[in-house]
Amino acid sequence: MTPSNATGPRAAHALPSYLQADHLGPWGIFLQQVDRVTPYLGDLARWVETLKRPKRMLIVDVPILLDNGTVAHFEGYRVQHNTSRGPGKGGVRFHQDVTLSEVMALSAWMSIKNAAVNVPYGGAKGGIRVDPRQLSLGELERVTRRYTSEIGLIIGPTKDIPAPDVNTNEQVMAWMMDTYSMNVGETATGVVTGKPVDLGGSLGRRDATGRGVFTVGVEAARRIGLAVPGAAVAVQGLGNVGGVAARLFAEAGARVVAVQDHAGTVYREAGLDIPALLAHAAAHGSVAGFPGAEALASDAFWDVPCDILIPAALEQQITEANAGRLRARMVIEGANGPTTPLADDILRERGVLVLPDVIANAGGVTVSYFEWVQDFSSFFWSEEEINERLVKILKGALDTVWQVAEEHRVSLRTATFIVACHRILRARDLRGLYP
């Protein structure tokens, strides 16, 4: 006999199978994070199920002609997690391991992030399961254009606005903008952000995520009495986020002692020469083989003595397997979802401060918002103005969540989720159900 179970698959509110947590993947992690804040949501908790179900998900086939004359098919996704506070907003990543579950989690984290910094957006994310390193430039353009045409059904300047993410850049955004514009018959600059400055992009957007990581990090360091000059910093990922953050911390007098990327880990106790390391990585595709540094085994990165650790690569890097080993006082999450909930608990017990992704890397989408506003008004701001507004928003957001964390004695991540979920569900409640 099957026991009756209110949360079983037959219950009216049971999640569809593809939404159920496996407690291993990013979507499972997001569901756990929502469960942690539900007790703090008061009356709004009656809407919390909304967050556990993305509003709209599109899976598309992306066929392209390869240079060798054959046709290849890739799987593409665009997930709009929530649009209660405004249009969907979030990047597009090209990676061989992208899955629907991952894109669902990334879109949900965008909802939280956008609400946390109070930009008028919901959350969305897209991806193509492809290794762009295996494609020629022409093939990359064809993949991008076909994908954009396919998701053209649901994106648009007031509907859902993509942007760069892992392995996508200004050129990819230019192709996306052009493809969408050609299909609708007008130049629609506001359909994507992170575009080249010559095409309606914003000054400061390229560095914005890394600058945000640095800004939030410096502000948190001040609050815990950690001096940035002389502090030892370890960075995982030397892309658009980690590379900029490493440069800014080095310029502020910190010692960037270790950098890890997909192909190598380099270490120098006195501090790596970051401009030289960035030039080496640009020329060789990796930090591996950088002269003037010691090469470390990949796993040894987590044992490096440092004050600040910046994971700025992919999800689920800090887990229960290595959280007990970290030597840092503070973790600044440049990546989305780099720390699992179990690792979060271990770090909190050990007194390591975690600046969560949904605040720490929100600089990118904040300047995306500035770009979108500039595109709509066709009036462009100076870089100083942009950076000034960026710093103001991020410091204000950190201040708010810091207070909530102290008030409820919770982590900054839980505090950020409390603030963001309140904002999202308040909007949901005010709008009501229709039809």
Least distance between ligand GLU and beta carbon 33 (Å): 16
CB nearer to ligand GLU: give 236 or 368: 368
Helix (H) or strand (E) holding 77: strand 71-82
Give the Cα separation of 196 and 214 in Å (integer): 23
Least distance between ligand GLU and beta carbon 363 (Å): 8
* Helix runs in 224-356, H state only: 242-251, 274-284, 341-349
Q: Which residues bind ligand GLU (CB under 6 A)?
A: 89-91, 163, 165, 193-194, 336, 361, 364-365, 368
Give the Cα separation of 359 and 213 in Å (integer): 9
Q: Which two tokens stand for residue 180?
A: 């969408």
Report CA-CA distances (Å) from 389 to 120, 199, 382, 385: 16, 22, 11, 6
Q: How many CB atoms lie within 10 A of CB 86?
A: 18
CB nearer to ligand GLU: give 108 or 250: 108
CB nearer to ligand GLU: give 341 or 364: 364
The residues assigned a catalytic role are 125
CB nearer to ligand GLU: give 165 or 178: 165
Least distance between ligand GLU and beta carbon 121 (Å): 8
Give the nearest residue (CB) to ligand GLU.
91
Are 146 and 64 spatial neighbours (Cβ–Cβ below 8 Å)? yes
Return the amino acid letter for 407: E
Are 147 and 172 spatial neighbours (Cβ–Cβ below 8 Å)? no
Q: What is the DSSP string of 368-405?
A: HHHHHHHHHHT----HHHHHHHHHHHHHHHHHHHHHHH
Least distance between ligand GLU and beta carbon 283 (Å): 26
Least distance between ligand GLU and beta carbon 55 (Å): 17
CB nearer to ligand GLU: give 25 or 90: 90
The phi, psi pair for 255, rounded to 5°, reads: -100, 115
Least distance between ligand GLU and beta carbon 91 (Å): 3
- Order of all β-strands in the sheet with 56-65: 56-65, 71-82, 123-129, 92-95
Least distance between ligand GLU and beta carbon 262 (Å): 18
Helix (H) or strand (E) holding 311: strand 308-311
How buried is residue 268: exposed, middle or buried, by Cβ count under 10 Å (0-12/13-18/19+)?
Answer: middle
Report CA-CA distances (Å) from 132 to 12, 144, 167, 224, 281: 42, 10, 7, 41, 18
Residues counted in the chain = 435
Least distance between ligand GLU and beta carbon 193 (Å): 5
Among residues 374, 399, 396, 397, the alpha carbon closest in space to that of 385 is found at 374
The phi, psi pair for 94, rounded to 5°, reads: -110, 115
Give the Cα separation of 328 and 201 in Å (integer): 36
Give 203's contacts (C-beta < 8 A, 6+ positions apart): 197, 380, 381, 382, 383, 386
